[in-house]
Structure 1
Amino acid sequence: MKIKLLIFLSFFINLQAADKPNILLILSDDQAWTDYGFMGHEHIKTPHLDKLASESVLFKRAYVPTALCRPSLMTLATGHYSNVNGVTGNDPKGDSKNPNNPDLKGSLISKIDQFDTLAELLTDAGYLTHQSGKWWEGSYQRGGFTHGMTKGYPNKGGRHGDVGLKIGRTGNKPVTDFMDMAIKEEKPFFLWYAPFMPHTPHTPPKDILKKYQEYNLPEPIAKYYAMCEWFDQACGDLIQSIEDRGIRDNTLIVYVCDNGWIQNPEKNAYAPRSKRSPFEGGTRTPIFFSWPAKYKAQDRKELCTSLDIFPTIVAAAGAKMPKGLPGLDLNPYMTTQEVIPRDHIFGETFAHDIADISDPEASLLYRWVIKDNWKLLLSYDGKPGKQKSGGKSKASDSKPQLFDLSKDPAEKVNLAKDHSEKLAELAKMINDWYPVKKRKVIREFK
C-alpha cells in the first residue's frame, strides 16, 4: 500500500518538475576499469551495472584526474582539480603558512568552504540532498547536504565516512527512507551513494565468494572479485528501489569509480600501477549517464573525465553554474549525439599524505595528459609522504613516459626517446594547463 501511494505521488512530482530529475551519483571505491561484465571481464559478474550501462550514455575511455579516494571525491564535490581545491591527498602532515597549526585535519576540511559544492548548488535549486558512504570533508552538513549519515571529523571515527560506511554492506534503508521522504514532500532529490565497496576489508558473503573460489584463483583475488559482485548487488537493490517507486524515467543515474585497483595475488593489498598511480590501472574508470526521459543509450568513443560530472549534473538540475569549471556540461552532446569538441584531458598525482596543506606542489609526483591515443607522464620531485604498495614511482619511472594507448594499453613501452616532437607537444600542453612554479620536473634521457 505504501509503495502504491508513493508511485501515485511520484506521478504528480514528475508532472510538476520534469525539468528537475532526481539524481543518483553512484561511486565505486577501489575498482579497476576492467572489472565489470560490460567491460569484458572474464570472471567478475556485475549483471545490475551491466544492465544499467546498456541503458546509458557510456564512456569506456574515461578517467579521474587523480587516483586516490579523498582527492578524487573532492574533485566530484567541487568540480575542480586537486591543485585548485587544495585537497591533494588523504591525510595532512604540515602547513607552511602556519607551522604550529594545532588542527591540520580541520584546516584541510575547511578548504571545501571556499567552493559552491554540488550538494549546495542542488539544495539551492530546490533539491533534498543526501550523503551516504565515503565522505572525508567533515559532516554531511559541511558538504552542503540537507541529510546524510556521516558525522565526520572531529567526531570519533570521523575520518572518511564513519557510520556512512555501512551503506551497501548492511543494506540501503537510510537511502530508501530518504527517497520516500522526498517523494512525500514532493521534492526532487540528490543521492551521493558511495559504498565502502569493493574497498578493503574484502569480506564478501560466503555464497558469492564460493563462486569465485571455484575458479581456483588465489584467495585474495577471489575475495576481491566477490566484493565487486557484492557491490553490484547493492547498486542493483537501490536501482530496483527507484523503479519500484515509479520514478526511474525521470531519474538521472551517474556512475564512476574514485580510483583503480589491481589486486595483489599474495596479500590483501593493491599491486603497483593501480591505486595512487597515474597509469591506466589507477586513473581509468568507466563513466556513464542514464536518464531514460532525456538520453538515448549509446556507447561513446570520446575521452571523458570525472570533472565533467559536476557541470553535467548542475545543468541537468537547472541549478546555478559556477564560473571557471574545467569540466564540460555533456548534456548537449548526450541529447543530440554530437561529437564532443575535445581531444585531450589532464590529470595529476600527489603523495598519499599531504606534505604541506598550503602548497599543493609540495606533494606533486606526476602530471599527465592524454591527447587522442597518446599519453604523457611527467615526473616531479614532490615529497612522497606515506608509502604503500603501488605508491611512489620507482627510479625507472623518473623519466618522461610516453605511450601509444591504441597499441600499448598496458603502458609497457616508453616511446619518449623515439617521438621527441610528440613529447615536446604534450609537455607544452601540460605546462600551458598551468605551470609548475617550485617543483623540479625530471625530463632528461641519458
Structure 2
Amino acid sequence: MNRQKFSGMKANFLQRRYAVSLGRRYVLAAASVVLFGVLGCSQVSGNSNALADSKVPQPELPLQKKTVKLDTKLVSSHNKFGFKLFSEILKQESGKKNIFISPSSLAIALAMTYNGASGSTQQAMAKTLEFQGLSLAEINSNYAALKSLLENPDTNVQLNIANSLWVNKDVSLRPDFLQRNQEFYKAKVANLDFQSASALTSINNWVNDNTRGKINKIVDQIEPNQVLFLINAIYFKGQWSDKFDKNQTAEYPFYTASGQQKPHSMMSQTGEYKYYENEQFQAVSLPYGKDGKVSFYIFLPKQNSNLKSFYQNLNAQNWEKWLTQFNSQEGFIRLPKFKTDYEVTLNDALKALGMQEAFSKQANFSGIGKSLAISQVKHKTFVEVNEEGTEAAAATSIGIVATSLREKPEPFRMIVDRPFFCAIRDNQTGSILFMGSILEP
C-alpha cells in the first residue's frame, strides 16, 4: 500500500471518529438541557401547593466548583455582619448562657429578604448587612457561587444549604422577587393555607428534614396577618482529619466563668496543628476531612485574661489579621466534648444594628408586595463535638406580615342630618329585602 493511499485512509478514519465523538457530546448536552428543564419545573409545580410559575428559569449549575467565581467583597461583608451581630447578641445575653449562631444562615435568609426591599428600607438593610458597594445582581450571583462552593467540600465533610419561601395562598407576590430567590438561592416556593393547622406542620417538617432532625421546629405560630416566611436551613457534619482516640478521653476539671470547678469529659490529642498565640490568648485550628478545607477554630483566653476582654477585640478586621499569623506547630490539645442548642429572636439585635425601619409600618418591601414588614427573625442552632468530629445545624426564619392589617383606621364621624338612602339586606344570600330614599324622616 503506497504512502498516499494510507494517509487518505487514516484521515477518513479520524474524521469518522471525530463525528462519533461530536455526536456523543451533543447527546450529553441535550440530556443536560432536559435534566435542567425537569428540575426547573419540578421545583415549583411538582408540588400541588407550589406557587404559580413553573416557567421560572433555573441557572445552569457549574460543572466544576473550581470554575465558580466568588467576589471576596461578599465574603468580607458576610463576616463583618456576623461579627457585628454576634457582638450585639453578647450584649443582650450578658454572658448568661452558651451562644451559638450561624452567620451564614442568617445572612442568606436576610439576603433573600433584601431582594424585596426598596428605598430607605433597602439602604438600612444594606448598611446592617454590610452590602455597601455591592449591587443586587452582584449579591445574588455571589451567594449562588458561595452556595456551590460551600456544599460538600470533601468526602468526609457534609454541608448542605437549603432555602424556602412559604406563601399564604391568598397573597400575590411580585414574580421577579420569587424568580430571583428560585434562581440564585434555589429556594423551594410553596403556597399554603396559613389558616390550616397543616401549614405549620409543613414548614417545620421541611426544617426538620433539611437539618437531619437536629432542629424540628422554627415557626411556633402563624399570625392572622402573616403573608410569607423566608427560611434557610444549614446542616454540617465533618470528621476530624485526625480523629481523637476515645481511649484518651477522660474526666478533667472545667472551670466556669464564675470560677466554679466541674468535672467534664475531655478529649486529648498530640499532633501538628495550625497554631497562634499572643499575650491575650491561644488559638488552634482543627481541620476536617482529607484536605482540611473546613476547620474548627478555638480561641482560648489566657488565665490572666477572660472572654469578656477577648470579645472587646473580636471583629472582622482582627479576625483576618489573626488568621494570617497561624503557623504549623507540634502540640497537645485537650478539648471538652460538648453538645448544645441555642435559640434566639433577633428583632432587637437587628434593630440595634440599624434595621429598625424593616420592622415598622414605614417598611418598604414593595419588591415583595404592598404594605409589608418583617415581624420576626428567629434563629435556632445545634452543635455536637466529639472524638469523631462535629455535627451542626442552623435554621433561620424571617416572618413577613401585612402592615395594613395591623393598622387601626382613624375614628370616623357620620352625622345623618340630610336626606339619605337605606336598605335592608339578607347577608346570607346577599338579597336586598328593602331599600329606600329618605328625604324627610
Q: What interval of TM-score do these two structures reach, taking the shorter chain for normalisation?
A: under 0.3
The structure showing larger relative contact order (alpha-carbon pairs under 8 Å, at least 6 residues apart) is: 1
Work out which of the two has the higher radius of gyration on C-alpha atoms and give 1 or 2: 2
What is the TM-score with the length of structure 2 in the denominator? Answer: 0.22
What is the TM-score with the length of structure 1 in the denominator? Answer: 0.22
Q: Which has the higher strand share?
A: 2
